[in-house]
Structure 1
Amino acid sequence: MTSKLATQSPWRALIADDEPHLAQYLRSQLALLWPELEIVHIARNGVEAADRIAALAPDLAFLDIQMPGLNGLEVAQGIEGATRVVFVTAYDEYAVEAFDQAALDYVLKPVKNERLARTLERIKTACAPVQSYARLADALARLMAPPQQPRLRYIRAARGDLTSQVAVEDIIFFHADDKYTVITTAAGEHLIRTTITDLASQLDPDQFWQVHRSTLINLAFVEGTRRDEASRLFVRMKGQAKELPVSRAFVHLFKAM
């Protein structure tokens, strides 16, 4: 992969933090340490950050981890382009060790110039591909994992005025849709309010894979995969006309297929 510097095109970055004064402080420090860096947007929450990253495709995204809507880890999981992530975190030394082991870029709060400068220098001089996304996915999973809960066998879900017991083995995939999560089965769609993150922690990981921050699929219904002209990966589910996009953080799961 060619170094960004070799193209002589300006770097573009997005900052996401729900505390405006911290976002502005980071912006001011970046202006001092890297004057050529263009800040294309400052997002106030994770949902806005995910939307703007998808629309603007910045080279860098400085993501606070604790944000409303979507946290920084969930935003990173959903990135489908080449945006490189730098986590801005207040996590303690034990959590930070997970970042180090996965070769992720991060800076601790309160942001110190010396640490930020080292991160920027590593980014500017890197000629290799950005993060190893297999390791990224593993590190995010470790940091986000809640305490182990019993595996779900049935889910109570609404379909119109009727509330049903849906057997987990009959579910083709889950997809987060605004305030609800949609359950898709061969019989139709049902709605629940449980988040994808909570579902992932309660489902059998050998049966259900998360392929996007908003999507969980049942491997029993996977028909195949396809790459488009931009090398983006999509998964096809049995009996479903619509393909499901796979975020780059989860592409490695399909290498054996």
Structure 2
Amino acid sequence: MTIPYKTIIIDDEPPARDRLLKLLGHFPDTFHVIAEAKNGREAKQKIEALRPDLIFLDIEMPGLTGFELLAALETIPVVIFCTAYDQYSLKAFETNGIDYLVKPVRLERLEKTIKKLKSLDKQFSSQNFSNLLKEISKQKEVKKMTSITVKKAEKLVFIKLEDVSHFEASEKYVTVHTKNEQHLSEQSLVQLEQKLPTNFLRVHRAVIINTDYVKDVQKYFNSRFIITLNNQKMSNITTGRSYNEAIKVWMGV
């Protein structure tokens, strides 16, 4: 009889953790969930204490991303990434016994992951994976952008980041809000977040703000905040609960 993988689910969103836990319950011979973690720091403590065989790991988490968590571990278990963004180029990890699932995770896709685990788990190399993480880190250490290019009619227009109050995602495009104008960008928030300077902060899955434009911050229900930006519209941004830790770090509270 095959011993199931001791498994930890790591995701900052409770509904995502609950869904995955329910799906894994269909495969008790493969997965034995021993813990859950709601952020990277908590996950690091539980991984080091419980020594799981396998983790389901969200990539975008406030405070400590999935990649940063893995880079901080001495021993890396088998990893299955869970991401809401299929733009991530994670196929290189598959040869190391690693897979990735696009949220919302579906039962039939999880079945493919199990087949992959059975055929590839012996090939997993913690050292090879560490090398891949280093390559990702190098790619992220590119020079931070100072302007963004947008299309306006048939022209390409360069907008200085100091003039951008916030970025807001909707469907296929991201709206670039300046002091008194709006433009569309084909870059995703994930792509922008990797290149923007440190004064830009992700406060919601669909919003990145320029903290230099923050006029005030008010507490809101369900442990959220309303951030007012000092642009022409005096935009009010309601934050997402999963970004609280990063917001509090920025505010110094």
Give the TM-score normalised by the residue count of structure 2.
Answer: 0.50
Higher relative contact order (CA 8 A, sep 6+): 1
Q: TM-score, normalised by structure 1?
A: 0.49
